[in-house]
Structure 1
Amino acid sequence: MKTIRYAFWAIVGLCLVLIGLANRGMVTVRAMPEALGNLLGLSPDVDLPLFVVIFLAVGAGLMIGFLWEWVREHRIRSDARSKSREVETLRREVQQLRGAAAGATSDDDVLALLEKTG
């Protein structure tokens, strides 16, 4: 199983290297359109290799997807926590009832109830 995992990550790494080598050309990344930048007197732009832009875009997409999924599953996680607390409460109650039943010395249920209340 470890071999398959290592082989998979080696293939992923090789693909990333090939993408990087194929897309080494420099591109200009602008934060706003050129006309608006000229109007405001700001021109926030950066020259980066294309593969860096691709990897950053994929990483940003993954982060947005993970955050979206985490927020979407909030209700499921809160339901699971409440059910877990309920199960633990019921487990403790059953243990107490078993302990009380084991403490009863009489074989007769009616006498055991009378001893417990009296």
Structure 2
Amino acid sequence: MLNRVVLVVVVVPVAVVLIALAVANRTPAAFTLDPFNPGNGALTVELPLFVLLFVSLAIGLVLGSVATWLRQGRYRREAREKRREVQNLLQQTRPPAGGEDAGTGVPATRG
């Protein structure tokens, strides 16, 4: 139910705005990587403006995701260490599988 609400409240309006933006900005715009010589044809590309906007949005999303992933590395490392610690503690509390009493190394007697 919550997924449907998010879809209707967030995704649909964003999609409508992006489609309107794409339709309104179909004319080619020059994008150059050489700010000192904008007429340099080797470093200039002409694309519709909405393509340039979508590409910049995608690059921003990727860079933001990478930055977030890198910043959260210490928390992932801490979670791995805690998981190992829990596994070690669980192994210490479980009785041995060989039928021996815990900690003595003597076979268990059946009576």
Q: TM-score, normalised by structure 1?
A: 0.71
Please provide the CA RMSD for this pair: 2.9
Deviation at 1:34, TM superposition (A): 4.8
Please identify which structure carries the higher helix content. Answer: 1
Aligned length: 103
Deviation at 1:72, TM superposition (A): 1.0
Deviation at 1:117, TM superposition (A): 7.7
Deviates more, 1:11-20 or 1:81-90: 11-20
Which residue in the other structure is 1:60 paired with? 59
Deviating 4+ runs (over 6 angstroms): none
Deviation at 1:76, TM superposition (A): 1.0
Which residue in the other structure is 2:27 paired with? 25
Which residue in the other structure is 1:46 paired with? 45
Higher RCO (CA-CA < 8 Å; seq separation 6+): 1
Q: Distance in 2 between matches of 1:93 and 1:34?
A: 68
Q: TM-score, normalised by structure 2?
A: 0.75
CA gap of 1:35–1:3, structure 2 versus 1, over 3 A, is closer
- Among all aligned residue pairs of Structure 1 and Structure 2, give the percentage whose two residues are the same amino acid: 31
Contiguous gaps of at least 5 residues in structure 2: 107-111
- Highest CA radius of gyration, 1 or 2? 1
Counterpart code for 2:72: E
